[in-house]
Amino acid sequence: MNIEQDEKRNADGVSLLVSILICYPEIGTISFDPTIESLKMTFVLDDVDISDEYTTLKNRLYSSILSYHALEGIKNSSISIKKESFENTVFINVIRDVATLSRGEIALITALIKECFWEHLITDDNDAIREEELLVQEEAIDRMLFNVHKSREMSKLIGIREDGRVMIFNK
């Protein structure tokens, strides 16, 4: 397979990761794993020890996601919430299957983490992005989630944000 075919194959995945990172500056990194057809959203908290609050947050995220799924009629979803720590920095990883994930759920997860840890959450607010651009990106997310789910031959992709820029890497 040549480079051009790889690029076409990954276009929706790249666009999806870019759109999510643009619309949700609270998400530090995002990755797509085609082997398990999932997205991993990582939220970064700085200068905090959440050992005591983690179980409460995890339970709240699970129950909120499951309530959202019940309202939307979503069944058989895969949800994983994990915490990693390095010194005073905490990484909260939310791993979701792309088959049942939606833009509304991403917004819910982001809002809950922001509500619980807003003073410690590292965000990359980009005031230069106009509201119209955000609406275009938001509208595209659900379509791209569907396309990524249907594509069987995508590469593993990782999206990160650095100094106001979004970068996507093919792993």
pLDDT at 162 over 90: no
What per-residue confidence (pLDDT) applies to 40?
A: 97
Residues 6+ apart with CB under 8 A from 74: 68, 100
For the sheet with 157-162, list strands across it. 79-86, 89-97, 38-45, 29-33, 157-162, 165-170
Measured distance CA(84)–CA(9) in Å, rounded:
32
What are the residue ranges spanned by the domains of the chain?
Answer: 3-170
Measured distance CA(10)–CA(45) in Å, rounded:
30
Q: Which two tokens stand for residue 17?
A: 């990761």
What is the model's pTM?
0.87
What mean pLDDT comes out for the span 77-97?
93
pLDDT in tens, 122-135: 987 666 566 767 77
Kind and range of the H or E run holding 82: strand 79-86
pLDDT at 152 over 90: no
What per-residue confidence (pLDDT) applies to 1?
A: 46
